[in-house]
Amino acid sequence: MRFVVLLAVLGAALCLTAAAGSASGPTRTRVVIYTPFTTDGVLATGIKVTQTISGSCWTGAAGARRSDAWRCMSGNSIYDPCFSGPLTWVACPSGKGVIRMNLTKPLPRGYADPPLNTNRSDPSEVTLAHGVTCSFAQGATGAVAGLRLNYYCANKAWLLGSPDRRAALWTILYLPSLHATQARTVPIYLARW
């Protein structure tokens, strides 16, 4: 009788463990590549131009390391990234649409970043297991234990270094605040370029 009860308890524990594992979230990081243009060179369905400005681009984007992403300027404002298609303007994401920047000079193709390699380049934005979105920090930030403060999160936390891609579910070091004394590893559910 004890053996049967022990087997029943063990079976229930295994079922609970399996259920907990499947309820805990995805088992692999979802990779999304943003593109405002279709292969025909028109704006993708659902993407609207919210404003039109004029300006020029002078180098590849700091916020999205890929050959169709640019660092551009209009007046005294920098737009990064702006994405090129086969047109004479670039699309700079802004809120729920894009800003159309009509180019006053040709794109500096010699200063473009290499084509996107999702195995090597850092994503522009990541969403963590607890739903927080973090964006790649452009310019000078700081370092903790030799790791750059690479991502600034919507909840004012920071992510250190680059994602660890050795498993199907990527992870990264999470620093709850700049005053925190410890960073912990958290899963990345979604990576966007």
Q: Which residues contact 90 (CB under 8 A, 6 or more apart)?
A: 57, 70, 72, 82, 83, 84, 100, 101, 103, 107
Three-state secondary-structure class, residue 117: coil
pLDDT (0 to 100) of residue 157: 98
Q: What are phi and psi of 159, to 5 degrees?
A: -110, 135
Domain positions in the chain are 49-111, 125-192
| Other beta carbons less than 10 A from residue 171's beta carbon | 18
Interatomic CA distance for residues 11 and 19, integer angstroms: 12
Please, where are the H alpha helices in 24-148?
none
pLDDT (0 to 100) of residue 23: 54
**Which residues are 51's β-sheet partners?**
99
Three-state secondary-structure class, residue 5: helix
Q: Judging by DSSP bridges, how do beta strands 125-128 and 69-74 pair with one another?
A: unpaired
Tokens standing for residue 156: 């004012």
62-81: string of b/e by CB count within 10 Å (b at 16+)? bbbbbebbbbbebeeeebbb
CB 100 within 8 A of CB 51: yes
Place of tokens 């990234």: 81
Q: How far is CA 97 from CA 3, 61, 67, 76, in A?
A: 64, 19, 21, 21
Place of tokens 């995805």: 26
What letter represents residue 163's amino acid? P
10-residue block means of pLDDT along the chain (193 residues)? 35 38 77 92 92 98 93 97 90 93 96 93 94 94 96 98 97 97 97 95
